[in-house]
Amino acid sequence: MFFYNARVKTWDAIVIGGGIIGLSLARELRKYGASVLVVERGEPGREASSAAGGMLGDETLAVLRPLATASAEMYPEFAHEIEDESGLKVDLRCEGALLFLAPGHAEDQLAGSSPLPAPLAELEPALAVSGRQVSFLKERSVCPRALTAAVLKAAHHRGVDISSGTTVVSVDVAGGRAVGVTTNKTAYRAAKVVNCAGAWAGQIGPFPVPTRPVKGQMVCFAMPSREFLKRVVRAPEIYLIPRSDGRLLAGATVEEAGFDKRTVPDTIQTLRRAAIAMLPALESAHVLEAWAGLRPGTPDNLPILGTTSVPGYFMATGHFRDGILLAPVTARAMAQLLETGKSEYDLAPFSAIRFALRAA
C-alpha cells in the first residue's frame, strides 16, 4: 500500500527505463521545462539499445509506417542536436543500403527501393554475390552505442536526473491516479509516470501489458579497410552494417529465449559463415566481439504508446526491432501528449488498451 510522504522529492515526470526511448523522451520533456527523473534498473543504454544494429529504414508494418517515416526524416536534425549537446559523434551514415532478395522472390521487393545507381561490382567490390536480385534503398544507419551514450550525455546537459541501478517495484496509485514509483531502494513522486522499460515493461504495474524479450545475437568483425564495405547489406539470411571506425556488424537472430542474454557459439558461427559467404575476405578478419540483446516484443509486433486506463500513467515501450529508428518520433509524440494532452501523431493504433479490448 502506498503512503504519501511530503518529504519525498518530486518531479513533474518519472521515466522508467534508461534506454534510447526513455532517455530521448526525458530530454524532450526538458524542452517543455518539465523536471524529469529517469529510473534505470541497470546502466543507462546498456540493454537493447546498445545491442541494436542501427538501420534506419522505414520498411515496416503498414500501420507503423507513418511514424517510421516521420522518425527517419527527423534523424539528421535529431543527430545534430544530440551531437551539439553532448560533444559526441553518433556515426550517422547516409550511404544507403543494398537489398538482396532470395532467388525466385521478386515479389518481396520493398516499396521505396530503386535500381542500383551503378553496377554492383563498382559499388561494393568486396561482395561476392551472383544470381541474386538486388536493389538500392535510400536509408541511413547510426551507431546505437554511440547514439545512446550521446543521448545520455545530452539528457544530463539538459538537466535530466538519472537514478541508475534502481529497480522499479511498483507504480504507485493514490486517488485513482499515478503519483510516483517505489523502487528497491526508495520512493520517487511525480504527477506523471511513463513506462519505457522495454522487455521488462510488462513486469511493472498498475496496467499490465504483454511485452516479452526477443533475443537477438550479433557478431562484429574488424574490416580489412575502412572502405571495405560502404553500404548496409540486407539479405534474408543476414544483414551487414559497416561503421565509420572500421567495424562491421553481422546479425541478427530472432529468438524466443526468455531473458537469456548468453551468446551461443554455434549461432555466432552461423552468422559468421553467412557473412563470409557474402564477403569472402572476412574469412581472415578478426572477430572483435559477439553479443546478444533483448528486444521488447509485443503480440502484434507494434509498440505500445500513449495513455492507459490509470490517469497519469503512460506507456512508451514494445518497439521490438525499431527502437533506434523510432526514438525521435516517440520522444516528440509522447512529450506532446504528456505536456499538452494530445499529439500531432495518431497514436490510437498503439494504445495499451488494445490488448485488454482484444481479450474482452
pLDDT in tens, 331-352: 999 999 999 999 999 999 999 9
CATH of domain 10-87+145-211+299-359: 3.50.50.60
Say whether 97-138+213-297 and 10-87+145-211+299-359 share the same fold: no
In terms of Cβ atoms closer than 10 Å to its own Cβ (0-12, 13-18, 19+), residue 320 is buried
CB 232 within 8 A of CB 190: no
- 104: pLDDT strictly greater than 70: no
> Which triple of cell numbers denotes residue 282?
572476412
d(CA 307, CA 22): 16
pLDDT for 1: 34
Identify the CA nearest to 325 among candidates 99, 55, 89.
Answer: 55
d(CA 314, CA 44): 20
d(CA 302, CA 157): 32
CATH class of 97-138+213-297: alpha beta
pLDDT for 172: 97
pLDDT in tens, 75-96: 999 999 999 999 999 999 999 9
> Which triple of cell numbers denotes residue 84?
551539439
* Rounded mean pLDDT, 251-259: 96
Band (359; pLDDT cuts 50, 70, 90): low
> Which triple of cell numbers denotes residue 45?
543504454
Please state, as a whole number, how many other Cβ atoms lie within 10 Å of the Cβ of residue 121: 10
- Where are the chain's structural domains? 10-87+145-211+299-359, 97-138+213-297
DSSP code of residue 125? T
Band (205; pLDDT cuts 50, 70, 90): confident
d(CA 4, CA 79): 41
More confident residue, 208 or 283: 283
pLDDT in tens, 208-234: 899 999 999 999 999 999 899 999 999
Query: What is the bridge-based pairing of β-strands 313-317 and 187-195?
Result: parallel
More confident residue, 7 or 85: 85
